[in-house]
Amino acid sequence: MASNSKQTSSSMASLAGKTLRSGGASQTAKTLAGSALAQAGSARQTGSAVEAAASKALRSTNTSSTTRSLAGSVVSQSNRKR
């Protein structure tokens, strides 16, 4: 797998941290937040399961803006060959 040159920005990492601490965040939002934080400051890429969850969240009309932001971040850091 090629190295990932994209990393989670500091503002997105902050949003991810707030999401993980939130009692009202959905499980999907927390999963995406965890992935975004794992990719902050590293060359890690989004795994296929998280990529699928992010894609589903982006297609849904009921997704919150926070979840959409996190989903966009993790999708942008996925393996382009998948």
Instruction: Give the global pTM.
Output: 0.87
In this structure, is residue 1 part of a structural domain? no
Number of folded domains that form the chain: 1
Domain with 62 in it: 10-18+25-76
In this structure, is residue 44 part of a structural domain? yes
pLDDT in the model for residue 41: 85
In this structure, is residue 57 part of a structural domain? yes
- Judged against a pLDDT cut of 90, whether residue 71 lies above it is answered with yes
In this structure, is residue 82 part of a structural domain? no
Mean pLDDT of the chain: 90
Neighbours of 8 (CB within 10 A): 24
- pLDDT tens for each residue of 33-66: 999 999 998 888 898 999 999 999 999 999 999 9
Over residues 1-23, mean pLDDT: 86
User: Residue 68 in contact with residue 55, Cβ under 8 Å?
Assistant: no
In this structure, is residue 2 part of a structural domain? no
